[in-house]
């Protein structure tokens, strides 16, 4: 007890981390509840049920360990928000935190939390803290938020994505997971080969094992329309007994003006302050009906 109108009680934590705390007002109304599970793991359905929410969620896929549940009811009869003994004023919410593992996304033991404010929520947001390796370590996600659709029980996500081998850095992306396949749509433009190629609608796909990462999109190369395909695969070297990644990029221009192409290459890769120009006798007006450009293994540059 810590005031004439509010009461607070706490038990634990015990040696296994189990702890319980709650607060009531002088009318006997519950104002604060927190339960810390300590050791042990739960499913997402267990956590949602513990949050006093009746929402359909996948029965497996998610493993949540070291969970806590916190429930702060809406004050009744115009009462003010509840104040904890340490002076913290808590606002109405239903939340949970835990260490999260999602094998389908290669997510293992990352810190995450849930806050749901409605019994009729159509999605359950799971916010993941810090950076998370994805796709067998080929990419890293930050600001990752998983969304579980309560109607279809499908998983989607939003994130900021970095894939060094693909020369992708801090792009905004969305992810969908269906039947063992992952699709990632990159929202922001992607610059490749020191800005020589710009992709405006990049989409990446992989499987749950992360055996490969394929990407395709449309954009421009040296100012001319193009399509781009990238493939990142794992290669096992029996001699060194090591698995490495190999990344290949191809750019297809359905119609390529030779003068624009060469001028663009010279301006990009001719060096700082380069004054190299296309000579007068060069057939600048010639247009290739189709042109495909390939790169060597981009992973070898890392």
Backbone angle region of 238, left / alpha / beta, with phi > 0 → left and psi within -120 to 50 → alpha: alpha
**110 lies in a domain?**
no
* Domain contains 158: no
- 265 in a structural domain: yes
Residue ending a domain, among 85, 101, 117, is: 101
Q: Give the pLDDT band (50/70/90) at residue 142.
A: very high
Residues 21-40 have pLDDT tens digits of 888 887 778 888 888 877 77
pLDDT in tens, 196-236: 788 888 888 887 666 778 888 888 887 788 888 888 877 76
171 within some domain: no
Distance CA 90, CA 87 (A): 9
**Is 30 within a domain?**
yes
pLDDT in tens, 274-292: 455 556 665 656 676 777 7
For the chain, the domain total comes to 2
**Kindly report the CA angle at 263 between 260 and 266, in degrees rounded to 5?**
150
What is the average pLDDT value for the chain, to the nearest integer? 76
Residues 187, 83 within the same domain: no
* Model confidence at 258: pLDDT above 80: no
Per-residue pLDDT, 282: 57
**Quick one: pLDDT at residue 38?**
76
The pTM of this model reads 0.66
**pLDDT attached to residue 146:** 86
pLDDT tens column, 109-124: 888 887 766 556 677 7
299 and 185 together in one domain: yes
Last residue of a domain, one of 101, 134, 160: 101
Q: How confident is the model at residue 273 (pLDDT cuts 50, 70, 90)?
A: very low
160, 141 in Cβ contact below 8 A?
A: yes
Q: Are 184 and 289 found together in one domain?
A: yes
In a domain, 283, yes or no: yes
Within this chain, do residues 185 and 293 fall inside the same structural domain, yes or no?
Answer: yes
What DSSP assignment string belongs to 202-226?
-EEEEETT--EEEEEEEEEETTEEE
Residue 214 lies in a domain: yes
> Lowest-confidence range among 87-96, 264-273, 279-288?
264-273
For the ranges 46-50, 124-128, 220-224, the one whose mean pLDDT is highest: 124-128
Looking at 59-63, 108-112, 248-252, which range is the least confident one? 59-63
> Can you give the residue range of the structural domain that contains 66?
1-101
Of 56, 76, 101, the one marking the end of a domain is 101
Instruction: Indicate whether 302 belongs to any domain.
Output: yes
* Residue 275, pLDDT score: 53
Whether residues 91 and 185 share a domain: the answer is no
Give the distance, in angstroms, between the CA of residue 196 and the centroid of all CA atoms in the same chain. 27
How far is Cα 272 from Cα 269, in angstroms, rounded to an integer? 8
């Amino acid at each position: 007890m810590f005031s004439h109108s509010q009461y607070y009680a706490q038990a634990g934590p015990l040696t296994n981390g189990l702890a319980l705390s709650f607060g009531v007002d002088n009318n006997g109304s519950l104002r604060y509840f927190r339960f810390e599970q300590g050791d042990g793991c739960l499913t997402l359905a267990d956590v949602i049920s513990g949050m006093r929410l009746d929402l359909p969620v996948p029965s497996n896929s998610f493993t949540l360990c070291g969970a806590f549940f916190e429930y702060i009811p809406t004050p009744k009869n115009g009462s003010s928000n509840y104040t904890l003994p340490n002076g913290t004023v808590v606002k109405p919410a239903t939340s949970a935190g835990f260490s999260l593992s999602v094998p389908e996304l290669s997510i293992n033991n990352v810190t995450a939390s849930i806050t749901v404010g409605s019994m009729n929520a159509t999605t359950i947001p799971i916010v993941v803290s810090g950076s998370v390796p994805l796709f067998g370590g080929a990419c890293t996600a930050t600001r990752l938020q998983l969304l579980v659709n309560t109607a279809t029980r499908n998983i989607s996500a939003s994130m900021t994505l970095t894939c060094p081998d693909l020369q992708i850095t801090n792009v905004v992306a969305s992810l969908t997971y269906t039947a063992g396949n992952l699709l990632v749509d990159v929202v922001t433009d992607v610059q490749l080969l020191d800005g020589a190629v710009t992709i405006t609608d990049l989409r990446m796909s992989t499987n749950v094992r992360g055996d490969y990462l394929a990407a395709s999109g449309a954009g421009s190369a040296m100012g001319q329309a193009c399509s781009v395909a990238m493939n990142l695969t794992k290669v096992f070297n029996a001699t060194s007994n090591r698995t490495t990644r190999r990344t290949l990029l191809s750019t297809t221009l359905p119609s390529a003006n030779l003068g624009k192409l060469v001028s663009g290459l010279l301006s990009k890769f001719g060096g700082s302050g380069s004054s190299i120009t296309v000579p007068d006798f060069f057939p600048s007006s010639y247009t290739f009906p189709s042109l495909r450009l390939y790169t060597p293994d981009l992973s070898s540059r890392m």
